[in-house]
Amino acid sequence: MDLPVSTMTTAQKLEAMEQLWTSLRADASYTPPEWHREVLAERQRKMDSGESTFSTLDEVRERIDRARR
């Protein structure tokens, strides 16, 4: 299969990715790679230990706006 990725808009590319992920999730034979589990476990460990920090959506938007200036 050859997708015209170079001519697709960003929205079209995101939609294609969504369709691929939906298809993979529906496939009972699909198993995520082990490194996904490892990343999630590390993130959970950081949340449980208090190492992770979280931002509100407003804080994130403010940081993005500052970075654009």
Q: DSSP characters for 11-33? A: HHHHHHHHHHHHHHHH-TT----
Question: Domain segments of the chain: what residues?
Answer: 31-69
pTM of the predicted protein model? 0.52
pLDDT tens-digit profile of 10-65? 999 999 999 999 998 899 898 889 999 999 999 999 999 999 999 999 999 999 99
37 contacts: CB under 8 Å, gap ≥ 6: none
